[in-house]
Amino acid sequence: MNKVFSTTLIALLLSAGTLFAELRLASPFTDHMVLQCDLTVPVWGTADAGEKITVEFAGQKNSTQADADGNWNVKLEPMTASAEPRTLVVTGNRKSAIENRKCADVLVGEVWLASGQSNMDFTMSKKVKRFAGVTNEEAEIAAANYPLIRMFTGDAQKTYAPTNRIGGEWKVCTPENVPAFSAVGYFFARDLQREIKIPVGIITEAFGASTAESWIRRETMAGDPKLKPMLERFDAAVEKFRTNPPPVIAEARSEDVSATNAAPRGRNRAARDPVQDQHNATVLFNGMISPVVPFAIRGVIWYQGESIVDANKGGIELYPRVQAALIRDWRKLWGEGDFPFYVVQLAGQEAASNSPLVREAQATILSLKNTGMAVAMDIGEAKNVHPKNKQDVGDRLARIALANTYGKKIEFSGPLYESMKGDGDAIRLRFSHADGLVAKDGALKWFTIAGADKKFVAAAAKIDDNSIVVSSSNVIAPTAVRYGWVNFPDGGQLYNSAGLPAAQFRSDAPKFDFNY
């Protein structure tokens, strides 16, 4: 064989090889994963255009053909929960060869997506993230031996357009692996699994200091006249950056970014690529949510709050709309109906970012179907935006899920304000979830009262069976009451017999219209 012919043959063979795409599973499909029970389970990935793909798992064997772009999606029929480790096998049948891809130690159970900003990204150990580390860290980690709990933690990434890949792999819950787990995600899964007795999987996609709008896709932002300006500002900043890039580009690490909605300061402010700013619309949806849609899930737990604050753009006033848009958007994308969406309301802190207006904006979620809110106002730390008590947060989220998703007959909420009625020179307040009202850490505090002049003053509050009577000698004819209307209420808070705290409220709150 002459040298020219040999070189040509090798080139042709290499060229032919490039015609074939590697058979790949989508990012969330790895060893040790949990697949959602009782729902159709999409399994997807990429291969050669037109290639026949077969997925085998738990006695099912379903096939499809990759489309013109090489994308394929096979649906497994609903399966019952199972702690039996099994192998998912994907076979690609092309003309030249047969390829297999396998995922071992696969369980079937309940899968939840955990998302938001740094308090969801907060890991069990401070050795993993400097701002993290839970209360009783060493003991909690040593006890975290739950082989039926697994977590997939997506690598942090922000992109301008949706991507279909993200780094990460499923990890079994062991003392060796749990230090890097989302603490809220872990405690939620632990408390849930103890009750439902089947495997629980958590997909964690969270990023510090991120805004809610960064987790929403472009089409949704563009289609809402109130949200579209955020997208337009982002696009304008990207265009400016790309046409006239600054000489110095320095990106702050997520764990070094304060949990407020302020833009990076100093040199970073001018130099930072807008796509790498987690405050900007769509960038985290594109980089971190797009790659995991439509992995079958039961629902979402969400912890995002401090980055609501943006005085220049009316962030607090707009947040109910942003939050609702995100929930509706994700529900539409997953195509599973109105799946559960449970949020954590901000803990108390001596900071403007944790003002009662922020918590009020978060609470509007309860106007949407199949939602819930874990109150954390009582477990904050005055000077720490990342409180270490994530156990109570996980417990309160799990209670909501156990009651509302899994039908357990347990109390899942603290007292929620329902109505008020004049009672002489006082006001009587009625609550739901009000069995066994009690004050902790001393007499009730944080109630204020006002007359027609709307000047609120401190008030005395007395528990009377399942209601609260509020009064002040300085207000003869009261017309409105507020509770917890401070950044950091410390002690003297209202609970029910289940030990769950009352949510803050104001009887004179404005109404938010979700009909748009």
Q: What pLDDT sits at residue 5?
A: 43
Q: How far apart are CA 297 and CA 35, in angstroms?
A: 8
Q: What pLDDT sits at residue 19?
A: 53
Q: pLDDT band at 427, cuts 50/70/90? A: very high
Average pLDDT rounded to a whole number, residues 392-411: 98
Cis peptide before 179 (omega within 30 of 0): no
Q: Does residue 450 contact residue 479 with C-beta atoms inside 8 Å?
A: yes
- 106 sits in the region (left: phi over 0; alpha: psi -120 to 50; else beta) called beta
| Lowest pLDDT segment from 155-169, 303-317, 341-355 | 303-317
Q: What pLDDT sits at residue 309?
A: 74
Higher pLDDT, 245 or 4: 245
Q: pLDDT band at 310, cuts 50/70/90? A: low
Q: Which two tokens stand for residue 198?
A: 């089947």
Q: Write the burial class of residue 430 (CB in 10 Å: 0-12 exposed, 13-18 middle, 19+ buried).
A: middle
Q: Which two tokens stand for residue 451?
A: 């007359």
Handedness of CA 402, 404, 409, 410 (dihedral sign): positive
Q: Which two tokens stand for residue 170?
A: 């499923």
Q: How far apart are CA 420 and CA 429, in angstroms?
A: 5
Average pLDDT rounded to a whole number, residues 264-280: 73
Give whole-number Cα distances, 370 to 74, 105, 162, 268, 401, in Å. Answer: 28, 32, 28, 41, 10
Q: What pLDDT sits at residue 96?
A: 65
Q: What pLDDT sits at residue 246?
A: 83
Average pLDDT rounded to a whole number, residues 300-324: 86
Residue tagged 């309160």 (tokens): 396
Rg (CA), the chain: 26
- Of the candidates 142, 163, 155, 160, the residue with the CA atom closest to the CA atom of residue 207: 155
Q: What pLDDT sits at residue 314?
A: 77
How high does pLDDT run on average in the chain?
A: 91
Q: What pLDDT sits at residue 247?
A: 76
Q: Is a pLDDT exceeding 60 seen at residue 11?
A: no
Percent of the chain with pLDDT over 90: 85
- The single-letter code of the amino acid at 515 is N
Q: Which helix (H) or strand (E) holds 142?
A: helix 137-142
Q: Is a pLDDT exceeding 50 seen at residue 8?
A: no
Q: Does residue 184 contact residue 92 with C-beta atoms inside 8 Å?
A: no
Q: Which helix (H) or strand (E) holds 300?
A: strand 299-303
Cα–chain-centroid distance for residue 356?
A: 21
Query: How does strand 341-344 pair with strand 200-206?
Result: unpaired
Q: What pLDDT sits at residue 112?
A: 99
Q: Does residue 258 contact residue 71 with C-beta atoms inside 8 Å?
A: no
Q: What pLDDT sits at residue 18?
A: 42
Q: pLDDT band at 4, cuts 50/70/90? A: very low
Higher pLDDT, 368 or 261: 368
Q: Is a pLDDT exceeding 60 seen at residue 16?
A: no
Q: What pLDDT sits at residue 420?
A: 97
- 484 sits in the region (left: phi over 0; alpha: psi -120 to 50; else beta) called left
Q: pLDDT band at 266, cuts 50/70/90? A: very low
Residue tagged 């291969």 (tokens): 47
Q: What pLDDT sits at residue 326?
A: 98
Q: Which two tokens stand for residue 428?
A: 């009587």
Q: Kindly compute the dihedral angle of the four CA atoms of residues 198, 199, 205, 211, in this order, to the nearest 10 degrees.
A: 10
DSSP characters for 406-421?
A: S---S-----EEEEEE
Q: How far apart are CA 327 and CA 343, in angstroms?
A: 11
Q: Is a pLDDT exceeding 70 seen at residue 269?
A: no
Average pLDDT rounded to a whole number, residues 12-27: 66
Query: How does strand 438-439 pair with strand 71-76?
Result: unpaired
Write the pLDDT tens digit of every residue in 49-108: 999 999 999 999 999 999 999 999 999 999 999 999 999 999 999 866 788 999 999 999
Average pLDDT rounded to a whole number, residues 282-286: 98
- Hey, which of 2-11, 239-248, 487-496 has the most confident mean pLDDT? 487-496
Percent of the chain with pLDDT over 70: 90
Q: pLDDT band at 516, cuts 50/70/90? A: low
Q: Is a pLDDT exceeding 80 seen at residue 265?
A: no
